[in-house]
Amino acid sequence: MAVCARLCGVGQSRRCRRRQRQNQQGQGSDSDMDEEEEEQIVGLKQSDAGGGGGPESGAATAGPSDACENGSGHVNRGSLDSTSTGPQHPQSLAELPPELLVETFSLLPGTALPNVALVCKKFRQILNTETIWRRRCMEEFGMKEDLRKMEVEGVSSRDIYVKLLHPYRQIFGLWQPDIGPYGGLLNVVVDGLFIIGWMYLPPHDPRVEDPMRRRPLFRIHLWESKKSTVECMYGHKGPHKGDIQTGKKDEFSTKCSQTDHHRMPGGRQEEFRTWLEEEWGRTLEEIFHEHMQELILMKFIYTSQYDNCLTYRRIYLPPTMPSDLLRPGLFKGTYGSHGLEIVMLSFHGNSARATKLTGDPNVPAGQLTLDVDLSRPVVLPDLKHQRNIEELSRLVLGVHEEVQRAQQQQQAMDTATAEGACSDVTAAGGVEAERVTGTDSPPPEPSSSISPPESQPFVLPLGVMARNEVYPRTCRQW
């Protein structure tokens, strides 16, 4: 009560208490702390609690009468804590607002979200948010939002990710079917609420500039049971049951379970005419060349026996380098009686190579169809001499002879090096310099400072028939 009385201003004055303390100095002990010191400690704690400034600090140190509540000698610690702590800072992820957790979880890869759901009940509930899984579908698989279709189908983004996109993640991208020498180009993408395998076909010969054609071979989607279903799209009777097997790396297989859907009422003859119109854009009567008819019939017999039961191998596009003459990748071009085909252009040091994605019995798919030595440019004559096929042949044969001489010199140099003759090795160095240059002036090295070469006129020689009259009339000399 004595402490309470003094806090309330009752009893001896402060000056009297100080005089009395000086008279009794040295007589007290630590356990008998002077009440004036206790009062000072209480006042110090109050000032610390209100040290942040503002109305709260003023109220905490307003006076002795404000420090006591309910007539007790103990200060109300709850009131002091409320004025000293301020806004609470979260100590863990679980204390963050839900909207921040949704944004954070949506940045994680979908494969990490199941582990996040095991942390606590709150995280598991937040991971049911549609926004998180919709963002994963868009960023990882390029799926475009189609909310209306999703509402009609009654599926969520989480179902699409977990039961459709993630299980078939290995088959997305470019593939080459194993169809003997003919090959092909397949692109597996997300299309709406489906995974569709599109077979890309070159335009009809000889229209090289036309866009590529495509037709679906299979599709995968979710039924109402929320289970993924594979359907074969081959033939003209609509989708039917199919299957996809993914075992080895960079390889998968498709199988049709209802091949009778591929048959047509008119039998093989009707199937051939339909295939010919789709593949070549013409009828058999319009193809007058007998050898060409044989090649077309051979391709139909060979490819139709697979019935869309194929094995696909992944295609890796070549990298792009600043020194490339043009951007590498996929190109289409005419191959005479075999029609238009697709090749992949890539650069390897001083050589440019074209590999077939679609092929024929002469040069099958997967084989090299073009190999250009970029270190030996051919200087074309003027247009008058370009029309003379003998002049062009002389230029080409001259380059071939130069290459053969360089190869012979290289073999001689390798032999001399193996024998260990120092003099021969020195002479071979001069031979090597001659082999690299080939002419008095060395070929220009690719550099960003070198301006692109000017276009040079180009025409086909007389007597050479172009399947497409709209061929390039200029070329670049490097």
Residues 196 and 288 grouped into a single domain: yes
Residues 463 and 432 grouped into a single domain: yes
What is the reported pLDDT for 329? 93
Q: By the 8 A CB rule, do 197 and 172 touch?
A: no
How many Cβ atoms from other residues are within 10 Å of residue 275's Cβ? 16
Has residue 148 been placed in a domain? no
Domain boundary among 349, 374, 399: 374
b/e string for 358-367 if b means 16 or more Cβ within 10 A? bbbeebebee
Strand partners, 177: 312
What is the reported pLDDT for 278? 85
Edge to edge, the sheet with strand 351-356 lists 329-334, 340-348, 351-356, 368-373
What is the reported pLDDT for 182? 93
What is the reported pLDDT for 441? 43
Record the tokens describing residue 392, joined without a space: 């062009």
Count of the separate structural domains present in the chain: 3
Residues 244 and 319 grouped into a single domain: yes
- Single-letter amino acid, residue 106: S
Residues 411 and 433 grouped into a single domain: yes
Domain boundary among 316, 342, 374: 374
Which among 380, 374, 338, 372 has a CA at the least distance from the CA of 355?
Answer: 372
Residues 361 and 389 grouped into a single domain: no
Residues 332 and 398 grouped into a single domain: no
Which among 395, 374, 378 has a CA at the least distance from the CA of 326?
Answer: 374
Question: Per-residue pLDDT for the chain (478 aa), expressed as one digit of tens each?
Answer: 444 444 344 445 445 555 555 555 545 444 444 444 444 443 444 444 444 444 344 333 444 444 344 444 444 444 444 444 556 777 777 888 888 888 988 898 888 898 888 888 888 999 888 889 888 988 898 887 776 677 667 788 888 898 999 999 999 999 999 999 999 999 999 988 899 999 999 888 778 888 999 999 999 988 766 788 999 999 888 899 999 998 888 999 999 999 888 888 888 888 888 888 888 887 777 776 777 888 888 899 998 888 889 999 999 999 988 888 889 999 988 876 777 899 999 998 888 999 999 998 888 999 998 888 888 777 777 777 777 778 888 887 888 888 888 888 888 888 888 776 555 544 444 434 343 334 444 444 444 444 545 666 767 776 666 655 566 665 555 4
Domain boundary among 374, 404, 424: 374
Q: By the 8 A CB rule, do 467 and 206 touch?
A: yes
What is the reported pLDDT for 192? 83
Has residue 98 been placed in a domain? no
Residues 347 and 411 grouped into a single domain: no
Residues 193 and 324 grouped into a single domain: yes
Residues 278 and 391 grouped into a single domain: no
Residues 185 and 263 grouped into a single domain: yes
Has residue 35 been placed in a domain? yes
What is the reported pLDDT for 355? 94
Task: Write out the residue range of the structural domain in which residue 17 sits.
Answer: 2-84
